[in-house]
Structure 1
Amino acid sequence: MTVDTANLRRVVGASAAAVGVLQTATAVVALRRGRRDYADGVWGPGLAAVALTSAAVGTGDPWRRWALAAATTAWATRLETLMLKRLRGSDEEDERYTEFLEGDGTPTVVAKVFGTQAVAQLLVSAPVQLAAASALPRGRRKWLFPLGIGVMVAGGVVEALADRQKSRFMAEKKKAKDEGREAPEVLDTGLWGLSRHPNYFGDSLVWDGAWLAAAASAPAGWTLPAPVAMSYFLVYATGAKRTEDRMEDRPAYRDYQDRVSFFVPLPKGLG
């Protein structure tokens, strides 16, 4: 057994406390300002807080726990930059939250939004918490640690590149409209020509990599539901599928669906 169970309990407790403080503070501000969508702004920071707390409290392999903390924090920092820009760019609450929470009182809102997100953050970060309290084995399995960190970095690069390509496309589209030129309806070049949701795919790779790095210690292999849950969130709950539902009534997007892979990047014609 490579896990220090007493230390794991401390890691989990400290992580839960960190997430609870962040979610509570965000809920107070969000409810006062009538912007329940502020919850989006605490997703990345909450996961970074868990990773950093786990690294500080954990007594497992120091290289792994701090490498996971660094990779998670770098991912969260970039995501937070995008989230804050989006939230500050609008004076109105995201309509998804307005529709989802219509008629709900404060206790229900807190439970459905901030409570649920806190639980999700602790579930998704389970491999990171377990790794922080675990020693690395001496056998070949230990190489899952650097492999996992490599996958995390690759996923972060894919996500960042996809977001940059999308931002450039939106800026060019706006410029074309301002100049009275016909603007392209769909982004189907670069990574977006290989996957309709390369940003979400990159995001999922980050957490697949975190699981791989943790799974170098055998007990952490049992935390496979964590990256599976994250992929589910990204594809069905909050990400790709919701975008598809919103866009599929556009002829150009339906054509795009016929030509390009839904999630995993594939060469054109194989989607």
Structure 2
Amino acid sequence: MLQIIAINFGISLAAFIVLWAISVKIRNASIVDIFWGPACALPALMTWLQLGHHSLRATLLTALVLLWGMRLGLYLFSRNIGHGEDFRYVRMREKAGGDKVFVMRSLTHVFILQCVISFFVSLPVQIGQFGVSPWFLFPEGELGVLAYAGIAIFAIGLIFEGIGDFQLQQFKKDPANKGKLMDRGLWGWTRHPNYFGDAAVWTGLTLIALESQWGFLTILSPALMIYFLYHTSGKALLERSMSRRYPEYETYKKRVSGFFPLPPSR
């Protein structure tokens, strides 16, 4: 198991370094965001390809994370293409005081950092492919209660994330909505349906992985994902920006749940 995981990390690191080289060439570090979903799915696929036999759980984990990763990657590609570098990286470039400093800083502080984080987050879909836990009294080729619960939570998360992204995309396409705050559909139940969806997806995948022999080692992976979504690069960072752009955002925050979907207060 450790050998396969080590090989996976080497491949992931090489992929991120190639991606960094491309970002230097085109002067746009934002391409790292597009690769986030595929980067979390790649180690699962590499694990599946290296295993000599494929259990139902291994194939299920690989298929589900590939579905999530490819959908997210394609959505971010269609959203970001032609829009230039994200404000976060523009700000980093300005603070660096020049492209030469930023180039090396982006390698360590953006690309390698995202490689490490995405790889850690993906541990459930790697480790979950190895053997059935002795704590679960069912044959290797079958799934238990945790796995079925995980599939249901994964489906809820994927649907929530997909619908939220679609609703926001359609809202922005309408010229009449220019300069307006999106507060309709799922965005009227949670300020971040995509982040809630992500959290549900990885909670579901981890529940499936928990039925594997070493699945208990992966519990911290979704916790890290949720921490980043809620406290650092996700919700917290985005809401600071939204508060500056939209005067009505503070009222929206009081009316709509910050993460878990709840009926809007009047």
Do the structures match in fold with TM over 0.5? yes
Partners of 2:157 and 2:4 lie apart in 1 by 26
Q: CA deviation at 1:148?
A: 1.1
Q: For 1:117-157, what per-residue CA distance to the aligned partner results, in whole angstroms no more than 9, with x for missing partners?
A: 11001110111111112225543793212221221122111
On the 8 A contact 1:194/1:260 being kept in 2, the answer is yes
Q: For 1:205-236, what per-residue CA distance to the aligned partner results, in whole angstroms no more than 9, with x for missing partners?
A: 11111111111236312322100111112122
Partner residue of 2:256? 260
Counterpart amino acid of 2:18? A
Q: For 1:162-186, what per-residue CA distance to the aligned partner results, in whole angstroms no more than 9, with x for missing partners?
A: 11111122123x1x26xxxxx6832
Distance 1:127 1:60, change over 3 A: farther
Q: CA deviation at 1:59?
A: 5.7
Q: State the percentage of identical aligned residues.
A: 30
Computed over aligned residues only, the root mean square deviation of the Cα atoms, in angstroms, reads 2.1
Counterpart amino acid of 2:255? R
Partner residue of 1:194? 189
Partner residue of 1:146? 148
Partners of 1:60 and 1:135 lie apart in 2 by 13
Of the three residues 171, 176, 183, the one matched with 1:169 is 171
Partners of 2:237 and 2:250 lie apart in 1 by 15
Partners of 2:31 and 2:179 lie apart in 1 by 31
Partners of 1:167 and 1:151 lie apart in 2 by 24
Of the three residues 219, 223, 232, the one matched with 1:224 is 219
Counterpart amino acid of 1:264? F
Partner residue of 2:87? 95
Of the three residues 127, 133, 141, the one matched with 2:124 is 127
Partner residue of 2:32? 39
Partners of 1:252 and 1:144 lie apart in 2 by 42
TM-score, normalised via structure 1 length: 0.86
**Matched position secondary structure for 2:248:** helix
Structure 1 runs, 4 residues or longer, greater than 6 Å off: none
Question: Which ranges of structure 2 fall in alignment gaps of 5 or more residues?
Answer: none
More deviation, 246-255/120-129: 246-255
TM-score, normalised via structure 2 length: 0.88
On the 8 A contact 1:65/1:131 being kept in 2, the answer is yes
Does residue 1:212 correspond to 2:207, yes or no? yes
Question: Which ranges of structure 1 fall in alignment gaps of 5 or more residues?
Answer: 1-7, 178-182
Partner residue of 1:70? 63
Of the three residues 19, 44, 69, the one matched with 1:51 is 44
Aligned residues: 255
